[in-house]
Amino acid sequence: MLKLYGYVISNYYNMVEHALLTKGVAFDREKVLPGGDAAYLDKSPLGKIPSIETEHGFLSETSVILDYIEAHYPQPPLAPADRWGQFKMKELMKITELYIELQARRLLPALMGGIQLDQATLDDVATIMGKGYGALARLGQFTPYLMGEQVTMADIVLRYSLVVPKLCASLVKIDAHAIVPGLAAWETRMDGLEVSRSIDARMKEEMPKFMAQRAQQGGA
């Protein structure tokens, strides 16, 4: 049986779990915290979560894992049926990752570690994220999902990529809903999915435990 390594506090882990649950794939969860022990490097060469164990071996990197899931568990599909649509979906996923999620992560040291970021960094993040949201507005269909009537990997990736920007919203002045008119309704629809509610409930339950453990480690 496929095994998923990671922890529900990771938005990248949740992307993979959301895809597996949507497809009804049987899998075991193996809890691994970020920066796991050296033995985990045999499964994920950079020690990143998530990773999966398949009948063929181990895979890491979320985008690669999602490609594997779609290829090996095609039903129900989480990608457009036509090749061009599949490439456009991946374009959306890459823009979401590079220009929204990863930019917001530059703000985490200020949010989590109390580190003062210079104004130039804040302005740069805001500018790049603004461009990312602009691209999302131009490429996303929101009818009602990003690629049309069907939930795809692009929807899953965007949903969990917005976690960090929302956490850091007080640090940069970006109104994503004003830039992307269909975003608010799309978020409500995605939040209402049974899989989304299940993952959100687990995250809500586990986050206080993780933060307490983190604080304990920091004080040791």
Give pLDDT tens digits for 93-148.
999 999 999 999 999 988 877 788 889 999 999 999 999 999 999 999 999 999 99
The answer to whether the CB of 105 falls within 8 A of the CB of 164 is: yes
Q: What pTM does this model have?
A: 0.94
Distance of alpha carbon 127 from alpha carbon 144, whole angstroms: 27
Res 219: pLDDT: 45
Instruction: Collect all residues with Cβ–Cβ distance below 8 Å to 158 and sequence separation of at least 6.
Output: 92, 93, 96, 136, 146
| Segment 51-60, tens digit of pLDDT | 999 999 999 9
| Segment 3-46, tens digit of pLDDT | 999 999 899 999 999 999 999 999 999 999 877 688 999 999 99
Res 129: pLDDT: 97
Q: What is the DSSP string of 42-60?
A: GTSTT--S-EEE-SS-EEE
Mean of the per-residue pLDDT values for the chain?
93
Of the two residues 69 and 218, the one the predictor is more confident about is 69
The answer to whether the CB of 96 falls within 8 A of the CB of 104 is: no
Could you give phi then psi for residue 68, rounded to 5 degrees?
-60, -45
| Percent of the chain predicted with pLDDT > 70 | 96
Res 111: pLDDT: 80
| Segment 174-190, tens digit of pLDDT | 999 999 999 999 999 99
pLDDT average, residue stretch 138-165: 97
